């Protein structure tokens, strides 16, 4: 089965062709970073307009390698949430029109499911690392979400814990903004952190108690803001040291809680996903600490961590293979409230998947 995936939930217009075994036939991503950078964050209306400009060429480019083009695909998968409503609308309406016109089945994909399953994508010529067996624990750390999931099957996931406030990527972006580094902040902090001393600056370790699988990153942003107010924006080695210390606190928190989740679930495989999983410090520390605790850590290639449509096509193929499909009345949703509800009890204990 070959599925065309379309993604437009935030600031990347993307389309991809993927086989149901994860083989990526094409993967096109048109980034809007340049358009949003002057504002220090994503401007929703600019995002919607840029998606409108890019969607046709991006989908055409994704279909180009397939002899027969759209007629040869077995279905169309599109991100229908969570994300920016205007941005989602562009991808959804386009996917609906395409599927209707070509007489192909349509499935809506939750963007977060795409990130959770991106580890199964097989890019380029092998050899490919063996995919994780089910069940596994997944850390999803992106600009909009930071959460731990137990994944029992491609279509069966349970939320184990999530951030109470800012997402990890949001913390990177806000910290970078406070330090005058630019947008998006994650890769810039990552680069400076590589030459800094992670123990140079003491910062609060959010939700440090290991038993809780919840995160909180807004205090870190405040700590950096207070520091900058008091001492000004550091430069040179001091700037690198602050970035390294900030990144260290986020990485330690993510790794500790991910391994705590594996222990609580009795699961030996941890998967990283989302844009923050591109962070070099996180990738290295997770593998190192996982090995020390008997947990195999699966780290997808960078192109599979940040937003892309190949992960949407793969998650869509999993739904289509089960005979699932959506109608042309498919709607977008902006927040993933349904998933959070009922998965995590108010007393902090976990609801096991049914």
Q: Catalog residues that contact ligand KG4 under the rule CB under 6 A.
A: 10, 142-144, 169, 172-173, 184-187, 190, 274-276, 278-279, 306-307
Q: How far is the CB of 302 from ligand KG4 (least distance, A)?
A: 8
The listed partner (Zn ion, ligand KG4, none) that binds 163, CB under 5 to 8 Å by sort, is none
Residues 300-319 that bind Zn ion (CB under 5 A): 307
Q: How far is the CB of 241 from ligand KG4 (least distance, A)?
A: 17
- Distance of alpha carbon 329 from alpha carbon 124, whole angstroms: 36
Cβ-based nearer residue to Zn ion, 315 or 350: 315
Q: What is the DSSP string of 199-227?
A: TSS----TT--TT---B--HHHHHHHHHH
Cβ-based nearer residue to ligand KG4, 169 or 206: 169
Q: How far is the CB of 47 from Zn ion (least distance, A)?
A: 13
- Distance of alpha carbon 271 from alpha carbon 285, whole angstroms: 13
Q: How far is the CB of 227 from ligand KG4 (least distance, A)?
A: 20
What is the helix (H) or strand (E) element at residue 270, kind and residue range? strand 269-273
Residues 22-51 that bind Zn ion (CB under 5 A): none
The listed partner (ligand KG4, Zn ion, none) that binds 190, CB under 5 to 8 Å by sort, is ligand KG4
CA atoms within 13 A on the CB side of 233: 7
Q: How far is CA 183 from CA 40, 178, 187, 307, in A?
A: 5, 11, 9, 16
Q: How far is the CB of 139 from Zn ion (least distance, A)?
A: 13
The listed partner (ligand KG4, Zn ion, none) that binds 279, CB under 5 to 8 Å by sort, is ligand KG4
Q: Say if residue 184 is preceded by a cis peptide, omega within 30 of 0.
A: yes
Q: Which of 162, 102, 122 is nearest to 23 (CA)?
A: 122
Cβ-based nearer residue to Zn ion, 105 or 114: 114
Cβ-based nearer residue to ligand KG4, 37 or 97: 37
Residues 110-149 that bind Zn ion (CB under 5 A): 142
* Alpha-carbon dihedral 143, 144, 148, 151, rounded to 10 degrees: -100
Cβ-based nearer residue to ligand KG4, 98 or 140: 140
Q: Which of 82, 140, 208, 161 is nearest to 346 (CA)?
A: 161
Cβ-based nearer residue to Zn ion, 7 or 190: 7
How many residues sit close enough to Zn ion to count as binding (CB under 5 A)?
Answer: 2
CB-based contact 80:92 (threshold 8 Å): yes
Q: How far is the CB of 289 from ligand KG4 (least distance, A)?
A: 18
CB-based contact 93:346 (threshold 8 Å): no
Cβ-based nearer residue to Zn ion, 87 or 158: 87
Q: How far is the CB of 104 from ligand KG4 (least distance, A)?
A: 26
- Distance of alpha carbon 149 from alpha carbon 143, whole angstroms: 17
For Zn ion, the binding residues (CB under 5 A) are 142, 307
């Amino acid at each position: 089965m070959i599925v065309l995936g379309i993604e437009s939930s935030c600031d990347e217009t993307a389309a991809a062709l993927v086989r149901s075994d994860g083989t990526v036939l094409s993967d096109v991503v048109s980034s809007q970073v340049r358009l949003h950078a002057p504002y220090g964050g994503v401007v929703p209306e600019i995002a919607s307009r840029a998606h409108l400009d890019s969607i046709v060429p991006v989908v055409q480019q994704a279909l180009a390698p397939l002899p027969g083009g759209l007629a040869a695909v077995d279905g169309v998968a599109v991100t229908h949430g969570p994300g920016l409503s205007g941005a989602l609308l562009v991808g959804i309406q386009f996917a609906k029109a395409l599927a209707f016109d070509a007489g192909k089945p349509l499935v809506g994909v939750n963007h977060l499911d795409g990130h959770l399953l991106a580890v199964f994508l097989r890019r380029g010529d092998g050899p490919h690392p063996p995919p994780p067996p089910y069940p596994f624990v997944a850390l999803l750390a992106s600009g909009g979400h930071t959460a731990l999931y137990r994944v029992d099957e491609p279509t069966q996931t349970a939320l184990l814990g999530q951030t109470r406030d800012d997402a990890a990527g949001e913390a990177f972006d806000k910290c970078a903004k406070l330090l005058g580094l630019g947008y998006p902040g994650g890769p810039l902090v990552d680069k400076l952190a590589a030459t800094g001393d992670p123990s140079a600056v003491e910062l609060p370790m959010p939700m440090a108690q290991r038993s809780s699988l919840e995160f909180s990153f807004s205090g870190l942003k405040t700590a950096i803001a207070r520091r900058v107010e008091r001492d000004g924006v550091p430069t040179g080695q001091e700037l690198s040291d602050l970035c390294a210390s900030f990144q260290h606190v986020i990485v330690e928190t993510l790794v500790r809680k991910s391994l705590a989740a594996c222990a609580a679930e009795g699961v030996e495989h941890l998967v990283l996903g989302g844009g923050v999983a591109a962070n070099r410090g996180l990738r290295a520390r997770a593998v190192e600490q996982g090995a020390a605790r008997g947990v195999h850590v699966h780290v997808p290639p960078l192109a599979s961590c940040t937003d892309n449509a190949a992960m949407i096509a793969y998650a869509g193929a999993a739904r289509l293979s089960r005979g699932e499909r959506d109608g042309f009345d498919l709607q977008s949703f902006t927040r993933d409230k349904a998933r959070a509800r009922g998965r995590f009890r108010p007393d902090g204990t976990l609801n096991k998947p049914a």
